[in-house]
Structure 1
Amino acid sequence: MVPPLARRALLGAALAAPALRGAAAQSFPDKPIRLLVPFPPGGPVDLSARIVAQALSEELKTSVVVENRSGAGGVVGTDAVAKAQPDGYTLGFSSTGAVAVNVTLLPNNPYDSRKDFAPVSIVAGVPTLLCVNPKLPARSVAELVALAKAQPGRLNFGSSGPGGTPHLSGERFKLATGANIAHVPYRGAAPAITALLADEVEVAFLDLPVLLPHVQEGRLRALAVTSPQRSPALPEVPTFAEAGVQGMEIENWYALLAPAGTPPDRVARLHAATAAAMARPATANQFISQGARIIVSRPDEALSFIREEVGRWGEVVRAAGVKAD
């Protein structure tokens, strides 16, 4: 069931959608749309993209085909969107790290998110979850910190790749606690989870939705979540603030992007369809049940938000001295 506040927000988006549809060219789209995901199949961005693609296909009355174009921490696929023909038929579904962090993290990042995209909408935000392999004798954040300090440099934490919010969550945790835990980046969340389950790494910081089924099945132990309040999906797991670690409120957001130069009427048509898609109870419930927060922002709001996030995460990268692994 969609919570009342979320329901009102989704209803507002749905009411706004017809006006935007009227402003858009009704002949678009008249062929399938490619939705590029810059991460491997099975990760949180991919799973969310497929939910949105299905709903968009129904709203637009054409196929929206997900294509995974992974590599270099999201750079390969996100750059492919930036350089695609700006006709509305190639879109991207990307996240904070690839869109906002890489601009600062990578000296030669091939795109500038502040000017190379025509954002359609920010669609959702998810917290990061700190999990450990059950073999690790740590049942709380305090016990993990004590273990890491007793054996400095022995523990490793896995992430979905350098520069993403899971990686930066781990770096912030190290700064806040003084825990000496080495970072091991993987090519997406799915291989990082495989490594955690196999005890190749003992700790992982990853988006909550992709870890949720493993925690629910008892295959992984969740210690804390980066949201300001406990997640309804895992109400027994404390926030980092409750666990005694401050400054860990972090959210990974997902954005639907078109290349810069895409005709405004087509962007408006895509946004209208996205607003209607996210207003569908079935779509919204899939996100909310996984601990995600629904966001439907106008294209201009999304562009302003991305520009602000590039600046904010740039400060974090510089302050923490984070380098691309």
Structure 2
Amino acid sequence: MGTRRRLLGGAAAIGAALPLRALAAYPDRPLRVIVPFTPGGNTDILGRIAGEVMAPRLGQPMVIENRAGAGGSIGADLVAKAPPDGYTLLFGAGGPLVANPVLQARIPYDVARDFRPIGLVGIMPMVCILGPRLPVRSMTEFLALLRARPGQVTVATPGTGSAAHLTLELLGAQASVRMTHVPYRGGSALVPDLIAGTVDAALVELPNVLPLHRDGQARIIGIAALERSAVLPEVETFVEAGLPGFTAGSFGGLLAPAGTPDATIATLHRALAESMAVPAVAARVAQVGAVPATPEQATPAGFARFLAAELAAARRAVELAGLKPE
């Protein structure tokens, strides 16, 4: 009896010395998911889909919190400096995780050092969309036109240093074509000029211009993905147009602060992977114009490899464009 009392007393002492949360199963309270952009954008929509479908599997709400600013760096930095307990996560995108590290001279975080990837959710592929002036009907014909008229075709993007601008530089290099870049301040800003024919074409994320294509106001002729989109089966890929392996786009995926325990990362990844495996969830992601992540990309290691490849491509594009970190 004395031995039993001593054992129970020792266990009680250990329990008293541990924080209550250490004794509880993770998660035992709501999770914050920081989206580093304003509500309603592509990243925000994907983040809300992920949070909604993961919450039942985790048994806790995933509360989306929009923290915009500095191209996504403000929200990313908030998560980088958050306690690594799994209760503050980043729904990251190409801006804060790829473009900003190569374009911002004083970025306050290091992607490889300060974050642990959980899994990619989806990719918003870049598309080439034409206004009314050009008489071409496919990406193959568009590339032939660019070669016939070097530097004469104007191509709009949402801005200098944007993911679309970097894609434009890579496209020019791989296809050996020259275009005149016309940067705007955001994807929506270029739409009126595209429809009016003030600019010949645009490179932009699919979700931003899918309604224009469906309404017949402009024509999507190429998509920078390995396979044709389920929502645009008639549109050829850049690969089919003669550019092997050419993919580009922005993306959305979950990350945690560095130092988050392996068990916590595993719990979050399991909830994400199980959610994305549901056909109805993948269909929701595809319906907004995104390409659902592959099972490999949705793993922590696969997402890490994806980020490394995206960063390498961004560095090459920045060199081609002659851009300098500011």
TM-score by length of 2: 0.77
Structure 1: how far apart are the matches of 2:118 and 2:34? 14
Within the alignment, does 1:40 sit opposite 2:38 as a pair? yes
Within the alignment, does 1:268 sit opposite 2:254 as a pair? no
Within the alignment, does 1:220 sit opposite 2:221 as a pair? no
Using the TM superposition, give the Cα deviation of residue 191 of structure 1 relative to its aligned residue in structure 2, in angstroms.
5.3
Aligned to 1:85: 83
Using the TM superposition, give the Cα deviation of residue 112 of structure 1 relative to its aligned residue in structure 2, in angstroms.
1.2
Aligned to 2:92: 94
The answer to whether the 8 Å contact 1:113/1:307 transfers is no
Q: Root-mean-square deviation (CA), in Å?
A: 3.3
Q: 1:318 to 1:280 in 2, by over 3 A?
A: same
Within the alignment, does 1:284 sit opposite 2:282 as a pair? yes
Structure 2: how far apart are the matches of 1:45 and 1:174? 27
More displaced 10-residue stretch of structure 1: 298-307 or 268-277: 298-307
TM alignment of 1:1-325, pairs within 5 A: 27-134=25-132, 139-141=137-139, 142=141, 146=145, 152=151, 155-159=154-158, 162-164=161-163, 166-175=164-173, 176-187=175-186, 189=187, 196=194, 203-244=201-242, 248-289=246-287, 290-296=289-295, 297-323=298-324
Q: 1:198 to 1:39 in 2, by over 3 A?
A: farther
The answer to whether the 8 Å contact 2:146/2:153 transfers is no
Paired residue secondary structure (1:114): helix
Q: 1:144 to 1:25 in 2, by over 3 A?
A: farther
Structure 2: how far apart are the matches of 1:161 and 1:88? 35
The answer to whether the 8 Å contact 1:83/1:259 transfers is yes
Structure 1: how far apart are the matches of 2:222 and 2:153? 21
Deviations along 1:118-171, one digit per CA (max 9) or x if unpaired, are 11112223421111334666544445874898695783512277242x221122
Structure 2: how far apart are the matches of 1:260 and 1:185? 35
Q: 1:58 to 1:220 in 2, by over 3 A?
A: farther
* AA aligned opposite 2:300: P
Structure 1: how far apart are the matches of 2:243 and 2:310? 23
Percent identical residues: 35
The answer to whether the 8 Å contact 2:35/2:68 transfers is yes
Structure 1: how far apart are the matches of 2:213 and 2:136? 15
Q: 1:298 to 1:155 in 2, by over 3 A?
A: closer
Deviations along 1:175-223, one digit per CA (max 9) or x if unpaired, are 4353332242535x45555775677765332222343233222233102
Q: 1:82 to 1:144 in 2, by over 3 A?
A: same
Structure 2: how far apart are the matches of 1:136 and 1:244? 20
The answer to whether the 8 Å contact 1:96/1:252 transfers is yes
Q: 1:152 to 1:247 in 2, by over 3 A?
A: same
Q: 1:147 to 1:238 in 2, by over 3 A?
A: same
Deviations along 1:27-57, one digit per CA (max 9) or x if unpaired, are 3222222211123333222221111111122
Using the TM superposition, give the Cα deviation of residue 258 of structure 1 relative to its aligned residue in structure 2, in angstroms.
0.8
More displaced 10-residue stretch of structure 1: 176-185 or 111-120: 176-185
The answer to whether the 8 Å contact 2:159/2:183 transfers is no
The answer to whether the 8 Å contact 2:43/2:251 transfers is no
Paired residue secondary structure (1:315): helix
Structure 1: how far apart are the matches of 2:108 and 2:201? 32
* AA aligned opposite 1:159: P
Using the TM superposition, give the Cα deviation of residue 291 of structure 1 relative to its aligned residue in structure 2, in angstroms.
4.8
The answer to whether the 8 Å contact 1:174/1:181 transfers is no
Structure 2: how far apart are the matches of 1:38 and 1:97? 9
The answer to whether the 8 Å contact 1:163/1:324 transfers is no
Paired residue secondary structure (2:247): coil
Paired residue secondary structure (1:115): helix
The answer to whether the 8 Å contact 1:126/1:251 transfers is yes
Using the TM superposition, give the Cα deviation of residue 320 of structure 1 relative to its aligned residue in structure 2, in angstroms.
4.2
Q: Report which structure shows greater RCO (CA 8 Å, sep ≥6).
A: 1
Structure 2: how far apart are the matches of 1:111 and 1:60? 28
